[in-house]
Chain A
Amino acid sequence: MLKRVHFEPSLLPYLLVAPQIIVTIIFFIWPASQALFQSMLVEDAFGLKTEFVWFQNFEELFADPHYWGSFQRTFIFSFLVAGLSMSIALLLATMADRVIKGSGIYRTLLIWPYAVAPAAAGALFFFLFNPTLGFIPYTLQFFGYDWNHKINGDEAMALIIFAAAWKQIAYNFLFFLAGLQSIPKSLIEAAAIDGAGPSRRFWTIIFPLLSPTTFFLLVVNVVYAFFETFGIVDAMTAGGPANSTQILVYKVYNDGFVGLDLGGSAAQSAVLMAIVVALTVFQFRFVEKKVEY
């Protein structure tokens, strides 16, 4: 933690931490505690009177089927995004680990989507899947399938999953590739001498040895799908049709800024904070230090 050799105590360290601490207090700690406080207030329709109601907002929230619907959708969304992008990334990383020539070029060509903003990724897929003009609906129509995510909620959900997963392939690919390259070659050689073919080697040696990376990526991907996909949802579906793509982060925004239900939105913020804390603790407790680069 602290260096064995260090400087004498003085005013200087306080000045050094001051900028970060001031920003943290004003823009993190204060708003977060405000959110917790507001989550126990109810404001009347004209915003004239506020009343302290303890946990009534939470009770209403958990009694609200819309909220549970949003919860359920968020879980489905997160795990499908994680599953889809991780399986594609693992397949590509395994292949890239196998080829010797050109693996650098493949890497460059596969990692750039990391830099694309979620909202921009949304725009790409919005255009690609546009029901009247898009390339994919046009193609699907020849197979007799009528794609319209503006009416069909399941298709809208599929659309945001595609866009979110597409963007995350790059990240997963990099970490899987690093994980694969850190597996000792001697283990794989030994298995090859014993007559195990490539697919058997993968499932009995490589995949189990990769499990720390997989586990780490699962947590990171779920966090990503929970909190960083706001831009994708807002740009593509704005939560619709009929709330079918309203994930939790979007609902906080929508109820607070559009619906102006401050107490309810703050209660949702508090629940989200609890989820982030749980995920962060989980990540530090079980995942950290198990991944080698």
Chain B
Amino acid sequence: MIENRPLLKIFSHIILILGVIMVAFPLWVTFVASTHDATRMTELPLPLLPGSHFFENLDRVLFVGLYGGDASGMGYMLLNSTIMALMIAIGKIIISLLSAFAIVYFRFPFRMFFFWMIFLTLMLPVEVRILPTFEVVANLGMLDTYWGLTVPLIASATATFMFRQVFLTIPDEMLEAARIDGAGPLRFFKDILLPMSRTNIAALFVILFIYGWNQYLWPLLVTTDQSMYTVVMQIGNMLEAGEEAPQWHLIMMITLLAIIPPVLVVVAMQKLFVQGLTETEK
């Protein structure tokens, strides 16, 4: 603090509190909606304080499904989302670790060629190549499978660059020492590189888990079988249904379920999250 200005201090707190309220308000309204029953959610004005039907709605959404639906709960969609997020995060980390290791620690023909090929993927987000990518996945028979959901999203230039950056900061003496002790490349990778980049891996995991969980367009395209739906893509389907037969208390419950897991990850692992965010952007 440069100088003591009590009024300014109070003003700062007020602005911050207003900011927090503004940011949290949409989520609060959603939470409140998920705690009331159907009739209350059709009366104006809508409630701003929670009701008593939270667990009833939760049970309905997880195990029974929407009214007028095909009577299957949506609990399995949470499972699908989790599997998808984990496969994307872990897959990305593994293939990026391996390729960064090869590019930093080996001299071999076409090294730079491979490097630039990986760099290219930075410029091709799935949104701009959806149709041909969809065709490839369809031709490979990967529609409605976990592989089809995850593998096309798995190559990542940012993760490879980040690990390359991390490896470059590891002193050369490490490798010299390992070599004197007779360690081969794989041993060096496993016993020295991996432990030394542990926090980077964790930070990246947090970011990638959120990225995977929040995918919307891709699951929408590659899944036609309802048993493969993810919870985030289901939101879009339900908003359309909500216009015809309003069941806002259930729709908002699903939305809440789609939001909570990644938000918990961010809040619980805030330090890793911030580290991951700043590192992958460099």
Contact = CB atoms under 8 A, between A and B. Distances in A.
A123 B214 CA distance: 13
Interface string A209-248: 0000000000010000001101100111000000000000
A119 B131 contact: no
Given A6-B105, A120-B259, A276-B125, A96 B16 contact: yes
Contacts of B281: 220
A151 interface: no
Nearest to A171: B277
A113 B260 CA distance: 11
Contact of A119 (B46, B235, B262): B235
Interface in A156-212: 166, 169-171, 174-175, 178, 185, 188-189, 192, 198
A114 interface: yes
B228 interface: no
A102 B132 CA distance: 50
A9 B108 contact: yes
B14 to A, nearest CB: 9
B132 A34 contact: yes
B95 A276 contact: no
Contacts of B94: 19
Most B-side CB within 10 Å, residue of A20, A171, A228, A272:
A20
Interface string A113-156: 11111111111111110000111001000000000000000000
A31 B130 CA distance: 8
Chain A, interface size: which category? 35 or more
A55 to B, nearest CB: 19
Interface stretch (B2-10, B55-63, B72-80, B195-203): B2-10
B127 A249 contact: yes
A169 to B, nearest CB: 6
Task: Tell me which of A7, A34, A120, A170 has the highest count of chain B C-beta atoms within 10 A of its own C-beta.
Answer: A120
A178 B213 contact: no
Contacts of A65: none
Given A19-B98, A115-B266, A124-B26, A269 B16 contact: no
Interface string B219-255: 0110000000000110110010000001010011001
A265 B19 contact: no
Contact of B265 (A115, A123, A138): A115
A247 to B, nearest CB: 11
A122 B121 CA distance: 28
Contacts of B44: 133, 138
B145 interface: no
B132 A266 contact: yes
B102 interface: yes
B45 interface: yes
Interface of B: 1-3, 5, 8-9, 12-13, 15-16, 19-20, 22-27, 29-30, 33, 41-42, 44-46, 48, 94-96, 98-99, 101-108, 111, 114, 117-118, 120-125, 127-133, 135-137, 151-152, 154-155, 160, 167-168, 172, 175-176, 179, 185-186, 210, 213-217, 220-221, 232-233, 235-236, 239, 246, 248, 251-252, 255, 258-259, 262-263, 265-267, 270, 273-274, 277-278, 281-282
25 contacts: A3-B175, A5-B172, A9-B107, A17-B114, A20-B160, A27-B136, A35-B128, A92-B16, A92-B19, A95-B16, A99-B16, A109-B23, A109-B24, A111-B266, A112-B263, A117-B258, A117-B262, A118-B216, A120-B214, A127-B26, A135-B29, A138-B46, A234-B220, A235-B216, A253-B127
Given A30-B132, A189-B2, A280-B123, 16 more contacts: A5-B172, A7-B106, A21-B99, A32-B129, A35-B132, A106-B16, A112-B266, A114-B266, A120-B214, A127-B248, A166-B23, A231-B236, A235-B239, A249-B127, A276-B123, A280-B122
